[in-house]
Amino acid sequence: MTRVEITDGLQGLIEKSLVQFDAGRYTMLESVRAYARAKLEEEGESRELTRRHAEHFVEAMSGAEEGLQAGEQALWTSRIETEESNLRLALNTLLGDPEDREAIESARRLLGQIWRQWTRRGGIDEGLSYLSRAGAGLQGEPRLLATIHNAAGILAVTAGDRPEEAERSLLRALEIRKELGEPVLVARTLNNLAMLYNDRGRLDDARDAYHHARDLLRGERGYVYGTILLNLGNLERYAGRDDHAMTAYLEALEVLKEAGDIDGEGLVLNALGILYEDRSDPATALGYHEEAYVAFSKLGNERMQGWALGSIGGSRLKLGDRAGAESAILESTRLRLAQGDPRSVALALELWIEWLAASRRFEEASTALGTLETVMERVELSRTPAQERLLEEIGIAACQALGRQRFNECRYRGMGLTPSDVLANR
């Protein structure tokens, strides 16, 4: 059939209400889709067509991995979001038979292109499920297999409550990439391992891994190098070496802007804001956090929008704007709860404690502190010395306001609650 004949045929189906056209896409009513699916099953054609559908989207997503990191982030973020249901169907089709090695390889190619979307739009558990199924076994193209293990490690680091799984996946990816002899890929995985070590307080191991990764790139400027500089800055900030952190952040910002990495630029801006908060300059911090929020909003990165809004709320709180802080914190909490990953929820809880204390709602703050203590037993959260001092000061203030007995009663009660329990009733 010619393009004109296909268009005319689709127009006829639209007129009969069998097909819909919206925003440049043709779709079926669900009832029509179900009927068509049943007829394909009757004719024995369903398996072949779903496989062809899956392979189409493997090819359609080619280029997404590079685009999601630099240059075309907004375009690819939107494209993947639009095709979410098709991509989910394609992955379930390709991973349906663990003995079909050709299909598994196709699934790995698709996952290798789109996995970053789960770090930005939520659904980390779903992403890890697909990556786990695709990464099972040792057969297949080594570069693809390393990508799958590396992606699984990053998602596990992002979740914050499964460090052993994260380290296992990243070490496997590192082993394969060293065997392949590709220094840029080795540097990427070393950078990811260093983030994990940083989160777990293994600062010397993290610093060694970052420096090794940076040396492997031999000064090559690009988003990978910029990300390593950003993470080195984070490490120095957590270690209380603010001047070193500032130097790393400013170079990272320059490099990531050159690379067109909007997401990375937002991360550096947010980190700079936190650094200025630690320096007791909330006005400058607020400016950086607001710039970060704009960057993340360009990409629809809801996970980091939640982080930036939380930072905005914290800065406003320090400036005495409790009403403005509350609105930003509540919207941040909504986004973080929607993401569902333990680290985002724990950070939402931590910020809510700060707001409660500033509002002198010490019983609620004490209960939330107890909940946070329980969460910290399983979620890895890196804090700067200033952030640690703030939480300690809140505990002391609550104890003085309530008396030690009442403070402990509230705190112990909180230990039996989940972050969602506390935040849902805020």
Instruction: List the chain pLDDT tens, one digit each, 426 residues.
Output: 677 667 767 677 676 666 666 666 666 666 666 666 665 566 555 677 888 889 999 999 998 888 877 667 788 888 888 899 899 999 999 998 888 899 999 999 999 999 988 887 778 889 999 999 998 876 789 999 999 999 999 999 888 778 899 999 999 999 999 999 988 899 999 999 998 998 888 888 998 999 999 888 876 778 888 989 999 999 898 888 999 999 999 999 999 999 888 989 999 999 999 999 988 999 999 999 999 999 999 888 888 899 899 999 999 988 999 889 989 998 998 888 887 777 788 888 888 898 899 889 999 999 999 998 888 877 766 677 777 888 899 999 999 999 999 999 999 999 988 888 888 766
Is residue 22 included in any domain, yes or no?
A: yes
State the Cα–Cα distance between residues 328 and 322, nearest whole angstrom: 10
In a domain, 369, yes or no: yes
- Inside any domain, residue 286: no
Buried b (16+ CB within 10 A) or exposed e, 109-131: bbbbbbbbbbbbbbbbeebbebb
Query: 25: which strand partners?
Result: 22
Q: Tell me how far apart the alpha carbons of residues 60 and 109 are, in angstroms, rounded to a whole number.
A: 11
Q: Assess if residue 280 is contained within a domain.
A: no
Query: Cα-flanking dihedrals φ and ψ of residue 417, to 5°?
Result: -105, 160
Query: 């659904």: which residue's tokens?
Result: 123
**Any domain includes 426:** yes
* Domain membership flag for residue 30: yes
Match 């090819």 to its residue by tokens: 59
Q: What amino acid occupies position 190?
A: L
Residue at 199 is within a domain: no
The number of folded domains in the chain is 2
In a domain, 192, yes or no: no
β-sheet bridge partners, residue 19:
28
The domain of 12 spans: 1-42
